[in-house]
Amino acid sequence: MIVIFLGPPGAGKGTQAKRISETRGIPQLSTGDMLRAAIAAKTPIGQKAEEVMARGDLVSDDIVAGIVSDRIDEPDCEKGFLLDGFPRTVPQAEILDRLLEEKNRPVDIVLELQVDQDSLVERLKSRIRDTLASGEEVRPDDNEETFRKRLGVYLEQTAPLIPYYKEKGLVREIDGMASIDEVAAQIDEYLNSLA
């Protein structure tokens, strides 16, 4: 099962992907997490990505596609995987289509988490408060100014993926304003209908 999560920053993609990964036993591939790991490990990719990410821009399609391509060849992806944060541009979606075509493994479903834009900044603020309260470090791109930049990048570069996948009949819309449990239940229903 190959599942793509789509939605603006703060929509809850990571939260839901993590849950589904645990309940279904298939890995969550978060390009944001992979890039942050590369930064922490000071790899050449991490060094290239660090500044771009801190200002809320997108890392180049080639770099991200390279990471994903290597990752989906790992044995734990054999049963399927959940893509969280990739593809993020139409060229990335085209690269993914080519990669999957070579492997004869089509995307099964695209879950679009729909959220009211005004509430996203409020969600970010509460995420920052929670992170600080737990004693963890706040991501360098999790501040209001950079977050608004990321939202703009989403609308401009990522939102066009919705019509791209709609044309393929793959998109299922989800009310991302519902509670975490309700969103998870809706996702489960869609995934069960695939089996």
Q: Is 174 in the site for ligand ADP (CB under 6 A)?
A: no
Stretch that binds ligand ADP, among 56-64, 98-106, 128-136, 167-175 (CB under 6 A): 56-64
Catalytic residue chosen out of the listed positions 71, 105, 123, 139: 139
User: What does each C-alpha distance from 17 to 34, 48, 49, 53, 193 come to in angstroms?
Assistant: 15, 26, 23, 21, 18
Q: How far lies 133's CA from each of 119, 121, 137, 179, in Å?
A: 21, 18, 10, 22
The Cα angle at residue 174 between residues 169 and 179, in degrees rounded to 5: 165
Of 39, 88, 111, 187, the one binding ligand ADP (CB under 6 A) is 88
Establish if 81 lies at the interface with ligand ADP (CB under 6 A): no
**19 lines the binding site for ligand ADP (CB under 6 A):** no
Residue 194 CA to chain centroid, in angstroms?
Answer: 21
Are 7 and 83 in contact by the 8 Å Cβ rule? The answer is no
Q: Considering beta carbons, is residue 154 or 184 the nearer one to ligand ADP?
A: 154
| Residue 35 makes contact with ligand ADP by CB under 6 A | yes
Nearer to ligand ADP, 9 or 176 (CB): 9
Q: For ligand ADP, which is the closer residue by CB, 53 or 191?
A: 53
Residue 67 lies near ligand ADP (rule: CB under 6 A)? no
Neighbours of 15 (CB within 10 A): 13
Strands (DSSP E) contained in the chain are 2-6, 28-30, 81-84, 109-114, 171-175
Give the number of other Cβ atoms within 10 Å of residue 118's Cβ: 7
- 88 is known as an active-site residue: yes
- What distance in Å separates the CA atoms of residue 127 and residue 61, rounded to the nearest whole number? 28
User: With respect to ligand ADP, which residue has the nearer C-beta, 85 or 176?
Assistant: 85
CB of 193 to ligand ADP, least distance (A): 26
150 is an active site residue:
yes
CB of 9 to ligand ADP, least distance (A): 3
| Torsion angle defined by CA atoms of residues 169, 159, 138 and 123, in that order, rounded to the nearest 10 degrees | -80
Which residues are catalytically annotated?
A: 13, 88, 127, 139, 150
Kindly list the residues in this chain that would bind ligand ADP in the complex (CB under 6 A): 9-10, 31-32, 35, 52-53, 56-59, 64, 85-86, 88, 92, 141, 150
